[in-house]
Amino acid sequence: MKSSVITFPGSNCDRDMDVALKKFGFKNKMIWHADAELPKSDLVVLPGGFSYGDYLRCGSMASKSKIMQSVINFANSGGMVMGICNGFQILVETGLVPGILLRNKYLEFICKNVFVKINDKKNKYFKNLNNKVLEFHIAHNEGNYFCTQDQLKEIEDNNQIAINYCDENGKIEDQFNPNGSIKNIAGIFNKEKNVLGMMPHPERMIDTSLSGEDGSLFFKNLINNLK
């Protein structure tokens, strides 16, 4: 399986994603934001970080990078595109996934483990995963997902919510919402579910010596689903 990770100026989880993808069998290539064309890929990842220093709005300038037209075309033709953290913010700015990401409710950067409940398994990202709940890791300042009531209805009708913040048993309540996201949304799909944007970093959960191993479950399952 071939994957591509895009490096924007200010990306800082690009190496971590490269390490994770390779660990679970992807042949990964690092792609520079100023390149015009994506190489042939089964998965494209927009990594976390602070592309363009978060200036203007998080993800806004990166969404206009040269490579992004190629990424958008790839997504529109059904290609798998995953945006993590800042990558999610970039996806939102391109319009590939609906909604926006506001500053965290308590106006503080948060770095900690969280639990997320998988809302939909009829997609290549979560299909065949045995777990209902995963322990992931978040590290962000602008992860407060927001959209209009009309958009929310559409998202829910299409089952586009990918994961919600919850407790270890899968209970979705306000107290388990770290950043004020509407409906505890931690990640969403586009309508076709080939594009996934999420705030948590599965690439930081690939080793028992680190924060945990649920990221390993996610990546192992993902590569199997793509085969």
Catalytic sites, residue numbers? 85, 201, 203
Partners of residue 100 on adjacent β-strands: 146
- Contact map string, positions 117 to 156, toward other proteins, x by CB under 8 A: --------------------x-x-x---------------
- For 191, the 3-state DSSP assignment is coil
* Beta-sheet strand order (sheet of 2-7): 27-32, 2-7, 43-46, 81-84, 195-198, 185-189, 161-166, 110-118, 133-140
Distance between CA atoms of 118 and 133, rounded to whole angstroms? Answer: 6
| Least distance in angstroms from the C-beta of 201 to other proteins | 8
**What's the CA gap between 175 and 144, in Å, rounded?**
14
Residue 154 or 207: which CB sits closer to other proteins?
207
Binding mask 150-189 for other proteins (x = CB under 8 A): ----------------------------------------
CA atoms within 13 A of residue 98's CA, in its CB half-sphere? 21
What's the chain's length in residues? 227
C-beta of 109 vs 156, nearer to other proteins: 109
Binding to other proteins (CB under 8 A): which residues in 42-61? 48-50, 52-55
> Does 224 engage in binding with other proteins (CB under 8 A)?
no
In angstroms, rounded to a whole number, what is the distance separating the alpha carbons of residues 115 and 25?
A: 26
The residue ranges that bind other proteins (CB under 8 A) are 9-10, 12-13, 15-16, 19-20, 48-50, 52-55, 108-112, 137, 139, 141, 201, 203-204, 206-207, 209-211
